[in-house]
Chain A
Amino acid sequence: MIVMLWHNIDYVASVVLFSIGLYVVIAKENLIKKFLGLNIMETAVFAFIIALGMVEDGRPPIMTGDAQGPFASPLPQTLVLTGIVVAVSTTALALTLIIRIFRRFGTIEANELREME
């Protein structure tokens, strides 16, 4: 069991990161901290997908005349690139909303906001 986990340490790390992120989202009251937790979750998933594309002794998959395999899989990296773009736009929107919440209520602590609603 331990050996199996050790061999898949990259996957284990992303699951641990994911759980930390989820904990922060649920447990923290500050909206920015909540959102940082979400960013940690996203990063964990990106790391997981990147790790999936790892090939032992893989070379960059660039097709030249004398290119020889095995190649690393390029697909996960393109996926994560798209995923990062999505994450950045989510972050931008969330920060905009947080600024507007602060202007209206003067606080970004979830418990204080609940009292004001």
Chain B
Amino acid sequence: MYAWPHWLALVVMTPLAGAALTPIAALLDRRSPPWWALATMTFTSLAATMLVLRVFAEGPFSYLPGGWAAPYGVELRFDEFSAVVGVICLIGWMAILFSSRYTRSLPEFASDRSPYYYALLLLNLGGMIGFAVTGDLFNLFVFLEILSLSGYALVAVGGERIAEMAAFKYLLMGAVSSVLVLFAIGFLYGMTGTLNIADVTARLGALEGPTAPAAVALALLAVGFVTKAAIFPLHVWLPDAHAAAPSPVSAVLSGLVVKLGVIGMIRTYRIYYGAGLFDLTVLNHVLMWLGAISIVMGAFFAIFQEDVKLMLAYSTISNIGYIIMGLGLATTYGVIGASVHIFNHALIKATLFLAVGAIIYRTGYRTLSDLRGVGRAMPLTSVALSIGAISIVGIPPTAGFLCKWYITLGAFEANQPLFGFVLVFGALLIFVYYIRMVNAFYFREPIHAEVTEAREVPVSMLLPTLVLASLCLIMGVLGRIPLTFIEPGVVRLLAPLGG
């Protein structure tokens, strides 16, 4: 069943078409948008499952929409890294289910706006899925813009006081980085005369003449994608945007959208490792250092935050630092750890944001001191939150441990023990601020009546949180599966073409 070729087209088209049809569904029945969006994502998840099964069984495969052969037509290509669509579907589904109750509590969120919220969410998910599976550079740019534009709008949708400012800041930096990526794509097209990623790689490798334009294109791509991934010092848009967005949107933005910048980086690496035009040591060193600085600075800023969502947002910067550092190490272990951390961090951060969202929904408070003692009032949500916290620190039986362990191994394999120590130091800093949170929630006396009187959230919000939290534990126990799954992809990524 998984061999049916059209799953790959359906996985992209379903959420995009579903987004376009959401307002129509709302015309037929005013309360249908969340269920329509859930149905759309259920079908998309089915397609994604088939695709992941197929890549597990057969390795990477392509799909040619319209039947035009690869260099002329647009190619969709599904490889091991594209398996991120599985996580996109999972978290997207959970976030939509969570939103069905959560959005009713938002200020300025009249029910006539809700179809557009779900349409934007589906567009965002569809854009991410398309970005992860496309094999064409210009298509990559179009999907990048779909996911970014819907992301900017989703930040503003909650109506927090600073939401529009945060969204505008995000839009400005995001749009500049998109323009840089488009410029780079123009460079690559000018040099090779093609837009198909595999074809660009081959022709770039056979290129005669100066390599300077290729280096400029690489620099533009790197800066563009690193901005999308919110690496220090290009992270300034992230904290406000992720803290001001409604919590299910924060889960999607923080868990998934920034990761697509990393996927873009991996695609760039594929082109340049494959072409073997020049040594990438300089870029690798830059990424390693930027990653290390992000780990420390992100964790450092997070320690001083009182607002729980801002703290989680800074923690995202820190964790993206791990991933970028793993990529920069350019050893098999490092890149495997980084790739698996893309999956695992998405699960963990979605758990944390949904749990915090549930707490904010019930109590209306969002700073550590206001939320003292909430652990006793909302036991299940707080357990999910604690599991997320343990996972993100990287304590052994949880999902965060294995990938950080692999990145550390990678640092020693690359003969860069300094970065191994940075990694452990970063984990310690992260431990400090999550301990602060757990301490406030469980061991301090509540100061607000709303906190002591808070009840557990309804099932539609509790279920996604608990499922994701248990996945954090399960992925820790079954951690070998993603590691072995991604390994052939990483080996292919690091090898020159034909080597």
Contacts and interface: CB of A to CB of B under 8 A. Distances in A.
Contacts of A75: 189, 195
Interface string A45-84: 1001100100000000000000000000001100100110
A104 B179 contact: no
Interface string B131-164: 0000000100110010001001100100001101
A101 B164 contact: yes
A48 B167 CA distance: 29
Contact of A38 (B165, B172, B189): B172
A3 to B, nearest CB: 16
Interface string A1-31: 0000000000000000010001001000001
B172 A34 contact: yes
Interface residues of B, number: 25
A52 B182 CA distance: 13
A41 B145 CA distance: 16
Contacts of B142: 82, 86
Given A25-B172, A38-B172, A48-B183, A89 B190 contact: no
Chain A facing B: main interface SS: helix
B186 interface: yes
A41 B161 CA distance: 30
Contacts of B164: 97, 100-101, 104
B106 interface: no
Contact of B183 (A18, A31, A100, A101): A18
A26 to B, nearest CB: 9
Which bracket fits the contact residues of A? Answer: 20 to 34
Contacts of A89: 149
Contacts of B195: 75
Contacts of A94: 168, 171-172, 175
A113 B166 CA distance: 11
Interface string B169-198: 001100110010011001001100001000
Given A38-B176, A45-B182, A45-B183, 19 more contacts: A49-B182, A49-B186, A52-B190, A76-B189, A79-B189, A82-B138, A82-B142, A83-B182, A86-B142, A86-B149, A90-B171, A90-B175, A93-B149, A93-B171, A94-B171, A97-B152, A97-B156, A97-B164, A100-B156
Interface of B: 138, 141-142, 145, 149, 152-153, 156, 161-162, 164-165, 167-168, 171-172, 175-176, 179, 182-183, 186, 189-190, 195
